[in-house]
């Protein structure tokens, strides 16, 4: 019984923590943040497994975690309200070439982030070539260049 409760508590705690840390943190993972993730997983693992190193306990925890994930995906599929809160929504930060500064500040995104996405995704050179920039649900920035949308 203990391991199921532990698994659930840890699952929802991590869900909330990663959600409130903001989108930028996960998608922007630098090598340091990768190390941070490894430390987090190690810390979590010890609290979750406790001192019970049996296979039964391991199986139970894995089933609990995967089961919760499946259950949540089912709920999200049926109820858009849950999806909105659990995954977030995309939002536009560049609209017809105009920057939405306030949204960018709230999401901790600056022009260089947009330019980086523009370069890597579309090979663009300047900000005025970006017609739309959207922060997707996973935190990554997608770009619609001026030329293509005019075609």
Partner 1 sequence: MMPEPKRVGDIEVAQNLKHQKLEWKIERVCWVVMAMVVLAALAGLLGHGPLSRARAGDQGSILWAEYNRFERYQGPTTIRVHLGPGAGQAGKARLWVDRSFIENIELNHIDPEPESVEAAGDRFVYVFLVADATRVTSVTFHFEPNKYGRMPVRLGLDGGPELSFGQFLYP
CB of residue 143 to partner 1, shortest distance in Å:
11
Distance CA 133, CA 93 (A): 6
Q: Secondary structure of 11-78 in the HEC alphabet?
A: HHHHHHHHHHCCHHHHHCCCHHHHHHHHHHHHHHHHHHHCCCCCHHHHHHHHHHHHHHHHHHHHHHHH
In angstroms, rounded to a whole number, what is the distance separating the alpha carbons of residues 88 and 61? 27
Residue closer to partner 1, measured from CB, 54 or 97 = 97
- Distance spanning both ends of the chain, measured CA to CA: 60
- Cα gap 148→111, rounded to integer Å: 21
Task: Quote the least distance from Cβ 17 to partner 1, whole Å.
Answer: 8
Give whichever of 17 and 31 is closer to partner 1, judged by the CB atom. 17
Minimal distance, residue 50 CB to partner 1, in Å: 8
Nearer to partner 1 by Cβ, of 31 and 90: the residue is: 90
Binding residues for partner 1, per CB under 8 A?
16, 20, 22, 50-51, 76-80, 83-84, 88-92, 95-96, 103, 106-107, 131-132, 134, 144, 149
In sequence order, the 6+-apart residues with CB closer than 8 A to the CB of 86 are 15, 19, 72, 76
When the beta carbons of 31 and 151 are compared against partner 1, the nearer one is 151
Min dist CB 16 to partner 1, Å, is 8
| Cβ-based nearer residue to partner 1, 41 or 149 | 149
User: Considering the complex, what minimum distance in angstroms separates the CB of residue 3 from partner 1?
Assistant: 14
């Amino acid at each position: 019984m203990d391991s199921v409760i532990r698994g659930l508590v840890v699952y929802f705690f991590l869900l909330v923590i990663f959600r409130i840390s903001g989108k930028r943190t996960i998608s922007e993972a630098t090598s340091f943040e990768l190390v941070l993730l490894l430390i987090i997983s190690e810390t979590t693992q010890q609290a979750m497994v406790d001192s019970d190193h049996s296979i039964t306990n391991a199986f139970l925890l894995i089933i609990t975690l995967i089961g919760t994930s499946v259950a949540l995906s089912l709920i999200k599929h049926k109820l858009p309200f849950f999806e909105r809160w659990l995954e977030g929504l995309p939002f536009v930060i560049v609209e017809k070439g105009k920057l939405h500064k306030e949204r960018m500040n709230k999401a901790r995104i600056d022009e260089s982030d947009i330019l980086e996405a523009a370069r890597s995704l579309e090979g663009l050179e300047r900000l005025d070539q970006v017609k739309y920039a959207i922060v997707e649900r996973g935190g990554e920035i997608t770009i619609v260049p001026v030329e293509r949308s005019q075609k």
